[in-house]
Amino acid sequence: MIYKKRKIPTRLQALLALDRRLPLNHPLKRQIAQQIYDRQAGFAGELEYDKYLKEFRPSYPHAILHDVTLRQDGIYFQIDSVLITPNEVILSEIKNIAGRVIVKPNPLQFIKESPTGERAAMRNPVTELERKTQLLTKWMRERRIDMPIRCLVVFAYENELVIDAKSPVDILFTYDVPIYLRQLDVQQHISSRQLHTIARAMKQSDCSFITTPLAQTYKLDPAEIKPGIQCQHCDHTGMRWNKGTWHCPKCQHLTREGHVEAITDWFLLMDNKLTNQQFCNFIGAPNRHIARRLLMSSGLQLVGIRKSAHYVRKQEQEGEAGGV
């Protein structure tokens, strides 16, 4: 059973919003484009993994959670995919790398080689998984869960893979995943009920929606980020409010929902909170009464009164605010 489906990662969503709202000649433009490219490749690899995982339909109870971020001892750690069986918890680190990948011993290294022969060290996925295993073990222990953890490094496409070193974790391709999982010797260590309790606890603790607004990450002056509502039809920024509807002065497109994406952009790019005044300035609402109505109907939570009044996303009331 899937407890958490995969959605576009928050960081990728934020980078796309920043790209839309930075002027064409901005010095960060190229760096942002590269990051979008890398993150889109990563996301495509994860979707490829999910596609193969669908073929895995065991007769025993199990739980799947995609893209989970947990917090332990003040440290956030993200897992690309979690599979809980009655026997163990399986963590997958999914890599989508073009070209050849060489795994070398002493110390264990992952090297990627481009089609032109250039070599570069990759962030070692085994070390990443060891770190996540330690944190998850502590996280589970605090919840009185005692289960072994197995880790997998999964390559999304059929790279030429040269393994010169014995890896402490299994390395496989996405299309191997269903066969690999079907061959597991699953003993009934925990009950179906316990398994679902663990999955629910993970889902409730997941904080993958939390992100540091990118203006902070890239130390941008808020004035560098283009305000306004972007037209879905012609990409013009600066839709105008007219009798209850947003109107594009360039292509005449009309929409009632124009402010929704702009509010999302605000939280991804500018700040974790939004005041009525900031909303008017960023979105171009004609006055604070209309702004209030739009904010209240956007699923936000009003916090504080009078001058300290501001809006936050509802999830942040439940989770803990902070950067990942």
* Helical packing angle, 10-21 and 29-53, nearest 10°: 150
> Shortest CA distance to 14 belongs to which of 36, 42, 43, 38?
36
Question: Residue 257 CB, nearest distance to Zn ion (Å)?
Answer: 14
Q: Which H/E stretch holds residue 182?
A: helix 177-182
Site map 252..291 versus Zn ion, x via CB under 5 A: -x--------------------------------------
Cβ proximity to Zn ion: between 249 and 304 the closer is 249
CA distance 264 to 20: 13
Per rule CB under 5 A, is residue 8 in the interface with Zn ion?
no
| Helix ranges restricted to H, 221-275 | 258-269
Per rule CB under 5 A, is residue 251 in the interface with Zn ion?
yes
Per rule CB under 5 A, is residue 247 in the interface with Zn ion?
no
Taking CB under 5 A as the criterion, the residue among 231, 268, 300, 312 binding Zn ion is: 231
Are 39 and 211 a contacting pair, CB within 8 Å?
no
Longest pairwise C-alpha distance within the chain: 69
Cβ proximity to Zn ion: between 136 and 239 the closer is 239
Per rule CB under 5 A, is residue 236 in the interface with Zn ion?
yes
CA distance 309 to 286: 19
- Map the footprint of Zn ion across residues 185-214, applying CB under 5 A: none
Are 220 and 271 a contacting pair, CB within 8 Å?
no
Helix and strand numbers (H, E) in the chain are 10, 15
Per rule CB under 5 A, is residue 89 in the interface with Zn ion?
no
Per rule CB under 5 A, is residue 240 in the interface with Zn ion?
no
Which segment (106-114, 157-165, 202-210, 227-235) binds Zn ion by CB under 5 A? 227-235
Per rule CB under 5 A, is residue 248 in the interface with Zn ion?
yes
Residues sharing a CB contact under 8 Å with residue 164, sequence separation 6 or more, in sequence order: 102, 103, 104, 105
Question: Residue 241 CB, nearest distance to Zn ion (Å)?
Answer: 15
Q: How are beta strands 240-242 and 245-247 bridged, if at all?
A: antiparallel
Question: Residue 17 CB, nearest distance to Zn ion (Å)?
Answer: 18
Question: Residue 142 CB, nearest distance to Zn ion (Å)?
Answer: 52
Which segment (90-98, 120-128, 153-161, 245-253) binds Zn ion by CB under 5 A? 245-253
**304 dihedral zone (left: phi>0; alpha: psi -120 to 50; beta):** left
Cβ proximity to Zn ion: between 15 and 283 the closer is 283
Which segment (119-127, 154-162, 232-240, 304-312) binds Zn ion by CB under 5 A? 232-240
Question: Residue 202 CB, nearest distance to Zn ion (Å)?
Answer: 42
Are 239 and 247 a contacting pair, CB within 8 Å?
yes
Question: Residue 240 CB, nearest distance to Zn ion (Å)?
Answer: 11
Per rule CB under 5 A, is residue 234 in the interface with Zn ion?
yes
CA distance 82 to 66: 6
Which segment (21-29, 52-60, 110-118, 248-256) binds Zn ion by CB under 5 A? 248-256
Which segment (7-15, 21-29, 250-258, 275-283) binds Zn ion by CB under 5 A? 250-258
Which segment (55-63, 103-111, 189-197, 246-254) binds Zn ion by CB under 5 A? 246-254
Other residues' Cβ atoms within 10 Å of the Cβ of residue 80: 22
Are 316 and 270 a contacting pair, CB within 8 Å?
no
Q: Token digits for 144?
A: 């009185």
Per rule CB under 5 A, is residue 233 in the interface with Zn ion?
yes
Q: List residues binding Zn ion (CB under 5 A).
A: 231, 233-234, 236, 248, 250-251, 253
